[in-house]
Amino acid sequence: MKNKRVWFGGVLVIALLAIGGYALRSHHYQNRFLPKTQVLGVDVGDQTVTQANKALRTHFTNSSLKLVDGSKTVATASGTALG
């Protein structure tokens, strides 16, 4: 009977630790993007919304776009010109 109590107590402690760890990770990612998250090719993993927004603005402001029809370039524009 005593072995069952010890075994049950051990399982209970392990379950509580697992639930506590899950709760801590859930709280951390409540206001952050999950790791390996990308938006239009820009890595925003483990960033807040404000940080991700800043990274996206920086990326698209500094990039240039080229519109191509077949092998012919139709138009080019910078990220700053497009807003």
Question: Is 2 a residue whose pLDDT tops 80?
Answer: no
Cβ-based neighbour number of residue 32 at 10 Å: 16
Q: Is residue 41 a contact partner of residue 65, using CB atoms and an 8 Å limit? A: no
Locate tokens 């390996």: which residue?
36
CA 8/CA 19 separation, integer angstroms: 16
Q: H/E element holding 19?
A: helix 2-28
pLDDT in tens, 25-78: 888 888 999 999 999 889 999 999 999 999 999 988 888 888 898 889 888 888
Task: Return the pLDDT at 36.
Answer: 93
- pLDDT over 90 (residue 81): no
Angstrom distance (rounded) from CA 73 to CA 50: 35
Do the Cβ atoms of 72 and 65 come closer than 8 Å? no
pLDDT at 29: 87
